[in-house]
Amino acid sequence: MKRRSPAPILASPEGKVLKGKLWTETVKDVSKVDPKLANFLN
């Protein structure tokens, strides 16, 4: 049985943009401490 969307905001038209922003910002932030993690921006 399938349930409701896990997070409607992520499934919304703006959701893809939000997910992309979150990923990029997260990787940029953590790579200040470990520069190797910046590879995940690609």
Partner 1 sequence: MGQPPIPAVPASTSLAGKTVVVTGANAGMGLEAARQFLALGASRLVLAVRTISKGTEAATYLSAEASGTGNPHAEISVMKLDLDDYASVHAFSEQVRAQLDTLDILLLNGGVNIMSYQVSRNNHERVMQVNYYSNAMLALELLPLLKATAARPGKPSRITFVGSMGQNMHTLGKKPLANEETLVGQFDDKSKYVGLQRYSDSKLPAPAFVQELARRLSPDEIIVNNVCPGLVATGFDANLPTWLKPIMFVMRKFKARTVEEGSRALINASAVFNNESHGQLIADNKIVE
- Interaction between residue 41 and partner 1 (CB under 8 A): no
- Interaction between residue 26 and partner 1 (CB under 8 A): yes
CB contact at 8 A, 32 and 26 = no
For residue 21, give the 3-state DSSP assignment. helix
Q: Is the Cβ of residue 2 or residue 13 nearer to partner 1 in the bound state?
A: 2
Residues 6+ away with beta carbon under 8 Å from 15: 7, 9
- Interaction between residue 13 and partner 1 (CB under 8 A): no
Q: Which residues bind partner 1 (CB under 8 A)?
A: 1-10, 18-23, 25-27, 29-30, 32-34, 37, 40
